[in-house]
Amino acid sequence: MANFKGHALPGSFFLIFGLWWSVKYPLKYFHQKGLKKNRLSQQQQRIEIIEGAVKTVFAIIGILAEQFVPDGPHLHLYHENQWTKLMNWQHSTMYLFFGISGIIDMLTYLYSNIVPLGLDRLILAMAVFSEGFLFYFHVHNRPPLDQHIHSLLLFGLFGGSISISLEVIFRDNIVLELFRTSVLILQGTWFWQIGFVLFPPFGTPEWDQQDMDNIMFITMCFCWHYLVALCIMGINYSLVYCFLTRVKRHAGGEVIGIQKLTSDHTYQSALLSGSDEE
């Protein structure tokens, strides 16, 4: 992972999921407001299962990339009296946790009468926590800027982990879901930022990793990324609302939140077009 691509890959994964969530949760919110019920429709269930599957696939891609890049460990853990490429193994472990979270997501919605609701959130919280946990112990002995830029991520990770844990108890709280989404987008864009700062891809000059000013700028930059994440969410939120209102009008319905949506089909098509828009 110690190169630009190694940061761009997880960054993209997180970004894709973050963008998807910034469309999905507003959709779900307006849909539930319209229908005045809390039960998951069959359609929603199917989408959740697909989401879990995509998460698992992303995790597997990540693990394979970490293990089988030319200078990767190729599944060797201990070789000639020393550990082989522990960095790659740590990254694989991180992906593995997200993979398991994906599997549990699928199980929760496939066998919702067997697997208790909330377990999916707990495992996701643990996956995010483990990522933070491994990052925390893995930035020692590096130049100050490298250490700082990675440790900023911890704020997002531990904050996200706490918020997701809360969802075990306060499930389907739209504000917690939007917070989770914003933290995820932040994580995605920040991985790209790390890649650009530590491994400038287009021949741009290297950053001075000892300079205090660079560290100060990066701290502030982290806040800006969060603001960008908020903006993206705000835009997607409004787009979803406009889209649903227009769908409504075409279907001869009324303003959302006042009367129930005419059919599940509307929601389904909304979700599908919503995901096409990305």
Q: Please identify, using beta-carbon distances, which residue of 21 and 89 lies nearer to a second copy.
A: 89
Find the shortest distance in angstroms from Cβ 257 to a second copy: 5
Stretch that binds a second copy, among 7-15, 60-68, 220-228, 261-269 (CB under 8 A): 220-228
Cβ(178)–Cβ(232) below 8 Å: no
Find the shortest distance in angstroms from Cβ 217 to a second copy: 5
224 binds a second copy (CB under 8 A): yes
Q: Please identify, using beta-carbon distances, which residue of 53 and 154 lies nearer to a second copy.
A: 154
Tokens 């389907």, located at residue? 172
Among 4, 46, 54, 155, which residue sits at the site for a second copy (rule: CB under 8 A)? 155
Q: Please identify, using beta-carbon distances, which residue of 7 and 180 lies nearer to a second copy.
A: 180
Size of residue set near a second copy by CB under 8 A: 53
Among 1, 19, 178, 198, which residue sits at the site for a second copy (rule: CB under 8 A)? 178
Listing DSSP states for the chain in one string gives --SHHHHHHHHHHHHHHHHHHHHHHHHHHHHHHHHT--SPPHHHHHHHHHHHHHHHHHHHHHHHHHHHSTTS-TT--EETTEE--HHHHHHHHHHHHHHHHHHHHHHHHHTTTTSPTTHHHHHHHHHHHHHHHHHHTT-TTS-HHHHHHHHHHHHHHHHHHHHHHHHHHSTT-HHHHHHHHHHHHHHHHHHHHHHHHHS-TTSPPPP-TT-HHHHHHHHHHHHHHHHHHHHHHHHHHHHHHHHHHHHHHHTT---BTTB--S-HHHHHHHHHHHHHT-
Using CB under 8 A as the binding rule, the residues of this chain from 38 to 97 that contact a second copy are 82-83, 86, 89-90, 93, 96-97
Stretch that binds a second copy, among 10-18, 66-74, 171-179, 265-273 (CB under 8 A): 171-179
The HSE-up count of residue 48 (CA atoms within 13 Å, CB side) is 21
137 binds a second copy (CB under 8 A): yes
Q: Please identify, using beta-carbon distances, which residue of 140 and 250 lies nearer to a second copy.
A: 140
Provide CB contacts within 8 A for 88, sequence distance 6+: 1, 66, 67, 69, 72, 73
196 binds a second copy (CB under 8 A): no
119 binds a second copy (CB under 8 A): yes
Among 13, 179, 190, 207, which residue sits at the site for a second copy (rule: CB under 8 A)? 179
Find the shortest distance in angstroms from Cβ 107 to a second copy: 9
Residue numbers at the binding site for a second copy (CB under 8 A): 29, 82-83, 86, 89-90, 93, 96-97, 100, 113-114, 116, 118-119, 121-123, 126, 130, 133-134, 137-138, 140-141, 155, 166, 168-170, 173-176, 178-179, 212-217, 219-220, 223-224, 226-227, 230, 241, 257-258
